Amino acid sequence: MQGQTIVLGTATPGGGFPLYGGAFAEAVNAADASLVVEPRNTKGSTENVPLLQSGALDIALVQGEVANPALAEPGSGLRIVAAMYSSPGMFVTKGDGPYRSIVDLVGRAVAFGAKGSGLTILGRTVIDGLGLDADRDFKAVYLDKAGDGPLMVADGRVAALWGAGIGWPGFTSVAASPPGARFIVPDAAEIARILARHPFLKPLTAAAGSYPGQDAPIQSVGSWSYVLARPGFDAQLAYRLARALHSAEAALAQKLEQARETKVENTYKAAPRTDLIHAGVLRYLTEIGIARP
């Protein structure tokens, strides 16, 4: 029997979204042979939203800073299929480098991520929360491919690389290479300033051991990323997808550390409003007792 194909938009090669999208597709396809999730590289979150709205993608990975305003747009028709993982934002620099605070990076070359990436928007938002401008106060570098960032840190073309999340490939690459990594985040006072200016962000923590050599938790700010569905995505198909994903949670967590947060209860908790969860997904969440009828 031929399965129902679902086209999944991810992002540019070398970043966290393609890695997650591949693991997501493998786990769901193994859990339900009647579904065939096909990952497709895109330019990232900012392209994924219009591709969803045009029907070119069925579902897509979208970072919170792009997803939340898109979901709030009247009549957008976009709906949440799953909460992926939380994304505490951080800068990474060489472990033996001179930079220890965000202020130390002012005036330096900093890679803020790939063009079109939601992580880039998160970085610019965090910087704005401190009363700074990424382009004016830093020598901002925007990447064609997310995978270029760690190489630029390694050879000194940039002082630091911005990214977010647990197990993010760019951070792992820097942390696993000599001389290791130093992560730079807002301090407590700076976090308070950022949240006061941008209350849609949340205080988030990268647990100890999230990256090689990281022996203490790192507190920062960020948001949840989502799997979003296009307008008109079939309710029964969304129901089957939610059911398959739920049954595949353990397998997905084994494939990818950051996917440990991809749980149906987190989808319900992370959604800005219950009505923004796809009706088919919400029906499944109600059936298993997570959502209230």
**What is the tens place of the pLDDT at every residue in 238-251?**
999 999 999 999 99
What digits encode the pLDDT tens for the residues 6-43? 999 999 888 889 999 999 999 999 999 999 999 999 99
- Evaluate if residue 127 carries a pLDDT over 80: yes
Residue with tokens 């991810």: 10
- 249 versus 199: which is more confidently predicted? 249
- 147 DSSP 8-state letter: T
* Omega of the bond leading into 212 within 30 degrees of 0 (cis): no
- Evaluate if residue 267 carries a pLDDT over 70: yes
Confidence of residue 2 (pLDDT cuts 50, 70, 90): low
Amino acid code (one letter) for 108: R
- Does the global pTM surpass 0.85? no
Residue with tokens 């951070």: 171
Between CA 39 and CA 186 the distance in angstroms is 34
Return the minimum-mean-pLDDT range out of 97-101, 178-182, 199-203.
199-203
List the domains of the chain with CATH numbers.
4-86+224-287 (3.40.190.10), 87-222 (3.40.190.10)
- 243 close to 267: Cβ distance less than 8 angstroms: no
Between CA 128 and CA 79 the distance in angstroms is 28
Between CA 198 and CA 176 the distance in angstroms is 33
On the CB side of 231, CA atoms within 13 Å amount to 13
What digits encode the pLDDT tens for the residues 134-157? 999 999 999 988 889 999 999 999
Please count the other Cβ atoms lying within 10 Å of the Cβ belonging to residue 140: 20
Task: Specify the pLDDT at position 289.
Answer: 96
Three-state secondary-structure class, residue 271? coil
Between CA 228 and CA 225 the distance in angstroms is 9
**To 10 degrees, what angle do helices 235-247 and 279-287 make?**
50
- Report the Cα–Cα distance between both ends of the chain, in Å, rounded: 34
- Concatenated DSSP letters for 23-66? HHHHHHHHH-TTEEEEEE--S-HHHHHHHHHHTS-SEEEE-HHH
